[in-house]
Structure 1
């Protein structure tokens, strides 16, 4: 896996969009939390005040930090299951095996249905006591 960090000089200041969670607190104040950065929050008496304080907090934080774009190159390895795809296509016993599996599954399902009916009968018996 290859990683590359792009540090492109920005000539214009981009506008960034953030999702903010607004929570009314029990004491009547409002908390604005920046999603993705839960330690970046603002607290105020109104929603507008909380968002303004959050914005100031984020601006202060971004003055001493920077945002970079991280590109990750995905490995081009073949899916490990692909080597098994179609391996039984010419096997004359393949459909016979599928029929066996289906019959076995039906038998197990019937046994489970009988078991569930027994449990239901026991429940009904216990409710009448």
Structure 2
């Protein structure tokens, strides 16, 4: 299995985009949860305040962590049809059978 980890250069910092769930609470406050990182949350009296707190929380967390892209090659799986591929190549009646199938398909096409 090939494994490649892509990291970005500290000189070029790409913008990170996150989806955030914002919920109004029964007590009148607003709660924001970073989707994919449910322990990264913010709350406040307004949506703007809540998002600012969530952003600060995430920035604090990312100071001691990093985000990488993990690229994994899919495992090589044998195609199950390959076990029977070519099975009838030396069969003397194979061509006759193919002609029969083609004729049958032409008949079906005429009926349409």
TM-score, normalised on structure 1? 0.60
Structure 2 counterpart of 1:36:
36
Structure 1 counterpart of 2:76:
76
Specify which structure has the higher proportion of strand: 2
What is the alpha-carbon distance in structure 1 between the residues aligned to residue 46 and residue 81 of structure 2? 56
Q: SS of the residue aligned with 1:40?
A: strand
Q: Name the structure, 1 or 2, with higher relative contact order (CA <8 Å, separation 6+).
A: 2
Structure 1 residues without counterparts, runs of 5 or longer: 93-129
Matched, 1:60 2:66: no
Q: How many aligned positions are there?
A: 90
Structure 2 residues without counterparts, runs of 5 or longer: 88-93, 98-112
Specify which structure has the higher proportion of helix: 1
- Aligned-CA RMSD value: 2.4
Q: SS of the residue aligned with 2:38?
A: coil
